[in-house]
Amino acid sequence: MYSHGSESLIKQARDIDEPELQRFYSRLVRLLQGKELGHEAVDSLQRLLLILFATKYTRTLPSELQKRLLLLLSSRSEQFQVLSSAVLRETLPLSGQELNYSQENIGQLNTHVVGLLLSQAGSRADLSSLCALLLRGLESRQSEGPVHLLTHTLPILNTILTHSPECLTEDHVTLLSKKLVDWLRYASITQGGGASSGGFFTGPRSRQPVPIAELDGTVSGDFFTVLCVGQSFTEDQWMNVYSFSILHIWHYEITTNENATKLTDQVDGSVVSMVSATSSSSRLLPPKERLREKAFQYCQRVIEQSDRKAHKRTDSELQKACLVEAVHILDCVCVEDASLVYRTFPCIKALFGRLSSDLSFARVVLPIAQFYLNHGEMAAVDCESVWKLVFGQFPAELFNDPFLAHELLRFLRLNLESLQLRVPQYIHSIPNLLKFLAWDSTAVLDDFVDLLPSLVTAGTAVELLHTLLDLPCLSATLVLQHRSTCLPISEPGGRGLLSLDAFRNPSFRGLFLFLLRGEAGSGDTIDRLSTLHELLAEAADWPRVVQCAQTVPVLLHIFFNTVVEVADEKLLAHLILVMLERSSLLLNLPTYIEEVHRVFSCHLLRLCKLQPSLVVDQSRELVEFAGTTASVYSKEEMYTHVVWVLGEYLSVSCDSRCSVRLITSCFEALEAVLFEITSSAPPPGTACPAPRVVTTLMSALAKLASRSHDLIPRVSLFLSKLRTVTRGGSVVWCSDEEDLVAIVTRGEELWSLLKAPGVAQSVLTPPPHVTVPRWHRDTNASMPLQLRTLTSLTHSQ
Amino acid sequence: MVRCFLIHTVCPVTALSAGESRVLYSRLFGPDEGALTDQHRELSPEERRLLQKEKVAMVARQVRSAVSLSREASGQLLVEVVPGEEALALQEADSGVARLRAGDPFSEEMSALWLGVQSLGFTLVCEPHENLLLAEGTLRNLTRYCLEHMHMLGQGSEVLLRSNRIDALLSRLLPHGQLLFLNHRFAQSLEKEVAAYMVK
């Protein structure tokens, strides 16, 4: 595969020195001057191509070589056309007149040259002139023209349309619409000339016209489509293929462009709609509308043909792709002309009925769902069964299909607004949709970053939070589910996994079924989570689970950032409780718990800052959490933040309900912990408490004491003891000397501050106008004020 | 439309740092979007070329990590295949699709479909509203051709020394980045042409 040889070739191509390169160029020029170009020329050109390709920097070719290469573009040998255009693509776009094609030499414009022209187009004007040239070629086709060019005209025009739709004038659109109608609807229905002939544009030479066949072998009774087969094909049959292939972009681009100008010809449009609804006299329609009508017929026929049993596997795959395309085009056509909706729905409905029971057609159902979403309301069609499939069965059973996941999530992203508005199943299917994330988290994370905010509502928030936290469990469970369906119980590969046994054990079935639930609303979480975590303990090093766990913190951040916008105080309080509870109820994965604690801490702080009264509200649980000494060691980050929040916001200035009793009980809980961790060694197997925890506890105690002066002597006593104890130099609860010094210094500061209770209060619990200053924001206006302040400062000295 | 087709490494390459990918073949279709947007208008042609190369390299890197992560997650061991077993290699290939956000690196959002065959990645960058089912089939087809005609399961230097063959292949199966609805008869007819080109 990728060998050392290839690597060294690239290196050689990059490292070639200038004199050698110049010699190579002149040798190549000489070679190209020869009459007959042979293998050596091919070889050298290919080497030149490699030299140019291998570096990201531009090399400039000698003008003589460039001239030779330009001549080669119209060589009779395709190999030289390919090579010369490839080499020129790797060099800079040509300036001036070197590549100039007009109606006269259009015969030299082979597909490789057009590709080159396209890749080096320097402006939209270049594209416009290329477009005009190709279309003129198309127009004059009837008499005589470059046959080969014809097929490539459509892809090129399609490219131009995609990149710069304004290059096509109204006349161009009309001309192309007419052409497309002819190719789509009126291609020959007999097979092309003998199969023995070389190129694909040999005219019909056979004596007896043989009719084309359907994919199942029967003789085709209707017009030609991409799903018709024959021994060989005529030119217009090839054009039929190309026309269908570009049709959806054509409709997509034309529709988008027309929306802008729709207002002007609205009257015209309504007349057309009436005509197309009857369709009997479609020949009288203007070209664009006629194309719409023919596209409609073509798609209907393709859908019908897709029901035939294809002999070849590749053809049955093509049938699926054709269904996707046909439904998509029908959707576009109905957006353009709403009156077609009523004619289209029976066919779409029948198709859905045909495919809905076969999951191998899931990816065809997505465009059908799009059709239902766009037009179902207008046609008053019941969409329930479509959503049941899209939000129910697909994620539940096809979570491991990366392509379906990509397309389904894209469908959701694109239609977010209408889904939120009209499809309640979307929000209900949260646990189901998250299966995509649990299975292939890295591939779909990006989509969920966009989707998650839409899933956070006041009604779903709590359950969603639990579900996100249990995402690694879901991931492990999906692995188990996958294994248990892929491997029979007797398979040795399935043995030896305790979790797989648990998964199959009926007594734990409920736990796993809860994780695998398809709809939200059956409860936020379950009681026996810790049991589940124990059962899944061995999943901690499964790569899929680890990858999944790594995405959870990102999603939690998005969750909390969104939830503050939709939640009331009651919900926020609930979320705080969930955080406290779940901080010790997480699947034990390396770094996962710490990461989640970090996110919790960050958002606990934000929530409390946003709603300081939450702290008084939830003081019982917060104090309980902060009073548990074990948390100092196992949840350092979380613990520090809870303590800080208590010290900062458990104050009458945040909530008038804050009583002295409350402050005292909180003080006592914190005091007990601080005393415990600073009087004994940490429990065996754990590290010393982080200095930050100790100082945060000290500060919190000082803050609380400053609000209830009776407590001041107790803090002071502790702080003075601390100083005495540490005078010896080392203590069991702090291994680093510098840390210890820092702790003691902090203690001394607080101690001296508390000696003046009035000052302590204003420093430790500053009134809001100090922390949220309301200065003049306008620098000009506030300047005099600043000057006056400065003056008074200097004058007082 | 397909914006680009590339063949690149998805295995560690000694000369490259971890996570890097060596691009062995790349073909961008259509005009350079840098020349058409105002954002990059002030760039010189050299800089625009560099930008295009970097875009391709970035796609290759993204796919490389997608392939490694997907292989790691599935935990399946790679089965060694030898020349002649192209069909098996294709059957065993990992596949997936990555979303390339707008501006990262193309100015609009794209979907990158990939096939990981042993140490190589075959990637098709499409506009996301494209028919991905058709794109997937086309990518498989292209990959099969490349493996067979460029003998890529062997030493694999032909992809560098015969890249014109891939150009010729693309000009038929994916002309100017256009995905085509080819039934097996149309495909056979093109195959014949490709085979005729290859023997030259």
DSSP A272-296: HHHHHHH-TTGGGS-HHHHHHHHHH
Query: How many residues belong to chain A?
Result: 797
Q: What is the mean pLDDT of chain A?
A: 87
CB contact under 8 A, A241 and B120: no
- The residue type found at A701 is L
Say if strands B23-28 and B94-100 run parallel, antiparallel, or are unpaired: unpaired
Confidence of residue A4 (pLDDT cuts 50, 70, 90): confident
Mean pLDDT, residues A414-421 taken together? 95
Buried residues in A63-73 as b, exposed as e (16+ CB within 10 A): eebbebbbebb
- The SS3 call for residue B110 is strand
The two three-digit tokens of residue B160, written as one number: 């560098």
Specify the DSSP class assigned to residue A220: P
CB contact under 8 A, A406 and B132: yes
Crossing angle for the helix pair B163-173 and B184-199, nearest 10 degrees? 160
Q: Report yes or no on A182 lying in a domain.
A: no
Cα distances (angstroms) measured from residue A631 to each of A182, A524, A537, A638: 77, 25, 22, 8
**What confidence score (pLDDT) does residue A224 get?**
95
- How far, rounded to the nearest angstrom, does the alpha carbon of residue A723 sit from its chain's CA centroid? 56
**What confidence score (pLDDT) does residue A575 get?**
96
User: Distance between CA B126 and CA B70 in Å, rounded?
Assistant: 20
- The SS3 call for residue A493 is helix
User: Distance between CA A375 and CA A336 in Å, rounded?
Assistant: 12
Clarify whether residues A555 and A589 are in a common domain. Answer: yes
Q: What is the DSSP string of B16-51?
A: S-TT---EEEEEE-SS-HHHHSSTTTTS-HHHHHHH
Distance from the Cα of B119 to chain A's closest Cα (Å) equals: 7
pLDDT at residue A332 greater than cutoff 50: yes
Chain A contacts of B194, Cβ < 8 Å?
Answer: none
Domain end: A554, A587, A610, which one? A610
Query: Which of A636-650, A716-730, A765-779 has the highest mean predicted lDDT (pLDDT)?
Result: A636-650
Clarify whether residues A757 and A726 are in a common domain. Answer: yes
Chain B contacts of A127, Cβ < 8 Å?
Answer: 31, 36
Mean pLDDT, residues A344-365 taken together? 95
CB contact under 8 A, A198 and B196: yes
Mean pLDDT, residues B1-14 taken together? 93
pLDDT at residue B165 greater than cutoff 90: yes
User: Distance between CA A496 and CA B98 in Å, rounded?
Assistant: 35
Clarify whether residues A572 and A452 are in a common domain. Answer: yes
Clarify whether residues A581 and A700 are in a common domain. Answer: no
- How far, rounded to the nearest angstrom, does the alpha carbon of residue A259 sit from its chain's CA centroid? 28
Clarify whether residues A603 and A629 are in a common domain. Answer: no
Query: Does residue A259 or residue A28 have the better pLDDT?
Result: A28
How many separate domains does chain A show? 2
Q: What is the DSSP string of A756-769?
A: SHHHHHHHHS--HH
pLDDT at residue A289 greater than cutoff 50: yes
Share of chain A above pLDDT 90, in %: 59
Clarify whether residues A529 and A606 are in a common domain. Answer: yes
CB contact under 8 A, B179 and A245: yes
Using a CB–CB cutoff of 8 Å, tell me whether A543 touches chain B: yes
Using a CB–CB cutoff of 8 Å, tell me whether A401 touches chain B: no
**What confidence score (pLDDT) does residue A321 get?**
97
The architecture in CATH of the region B2-199 reads: 2-Layer Sandwich (3.30)
The two three-digit tokens of residue B18, written as one number: 């971890």
Clarify whether residues A659 and A728 are in a common domain. Answer: yes
**Environment class of A622 (CB within 10 Å of its CB; exposed 0-12, middle 13-18, buried 19+):** buried
Confidence of residue A778 (pLDDT cuts 50, 70, 90): low
- The SS3 call for residue B95 is strand
**Environment class of A90 (CB within 10 Å of its CB; exposed 0-12, middle 13-18, buried 19+):** buried
Phi then psi for residue A103, to 5 deg, are -55, -30
Least confident range from A91-105, A198-212, A728-742: namely A198-212
- The SS3 call for residue A372 is helix
Share of chain A above pLDDT 70, in %: 87
Using a CB–CB cutoff of 8 Å, tell me whether A412 touches chain B: no
Q: Which residue has the tokens 């049941």?
A: A388
Using a CB–CB cutoff of 8 Å, tell me whether B77 touches chain A: no
**What confidence score (pLDDT) does residue B113 get?**
98
**What confidence score (pLDDT) does residue A268 get?**
43
Chain B contacts of A252, Cβ < 8 Å?
Answer: 129
**What confidence score (pLDDT) does residue B38 get?**
75
**In chain B, where the domains are located:** 2-199
The two three-digit tokens of residue A582, written as one number: 């779940």
Using a CB–CB cutoff of 8 Å, tell me whether A14 touches chain B: no
Asked whether A274 and A218 are in contact (CB, 8 A), the reply is: no
Asked whether B176 and A155 are in contact (CB, 8 A), the reply is: yes
**What confidence score (pLDDT) does residue A197 get?**
44
Clarify whether residues A466 and A558 are in a common domain. Answer: yes
**What confidence score (pLDDT) does residue A764 get?**
85
Over residues A103-144, the pLDDT tens digits come to: 666 767 888 988 998 888 888 888 888 888 888 877 775 545
User: Distance between CA A177 and CA B97 in Å, rounded?
Assistant: 34
Residues 99-158 of B with CB under 8 A from A: 99, 101, 111, 113, 117-120, 127-129, 131-134, 136-137, 152-153, 155-157
Crossing angle for the helix pair A569-582 and A461-469, nearest 10 degrees? 20
CB contact under 8 A, A79 and B200: yes
Least confident range from A399-403, A558-562, A781-785, B25-29: namely A781-785
Domain end: A610, A643, A664, which one? A610
Over residues A203-242, the pLDDT tens digits come to: 555 457 889 999 999 999 899 999 999 988 888 899 999 9
Question: Percentage helix, strand, coil, to 5, in chain A?
Answer: 70, 0, 30
Helices (DSSP H) in B75-116: which residue ranges?
86-92
Clarify whether residues A602 and A645 are in a common domain. Answer: no
Mean pLDDT, residues A415-432 taken together? 94
Q: Report yes or no on A557 lying in a domain.
A: yes
Using a CB–CB cutoff of 8 Å, tell me whether A163 touches chain B: yes
Q: Report yes or no on A2 lying in a domain.
A: no
- Residue A512's domain comprises 423-487+499-610
User: Distance between CA A385 and CA A397 in Å, rounded?
Assistant: 16
Clarify whether residues A529 and A574 are in a common domain. Answer: yes
Domain end: A572, A588, A610, which one? A610
Clarify whether residues A558 and A642 are in a common domain. Answer: no
Query: How many residues belong to chain B?
Result: 200
Clarify whether residues A574 and A621 are in a common domain. Answer: no
CB contact under 8 A, A547 and B179: no
**What confidence score (pLDDT) does residue A264 get?**
43
| Closest Cα in chain A to B7 | A2
Specify the DSSP class assigned to residue B10: -
Query: What's this model's pTM, rounded to 2 decimal places?
Result: 0.90
For residue A26, the tally of other CB atoms under 10 A from its CB is 12
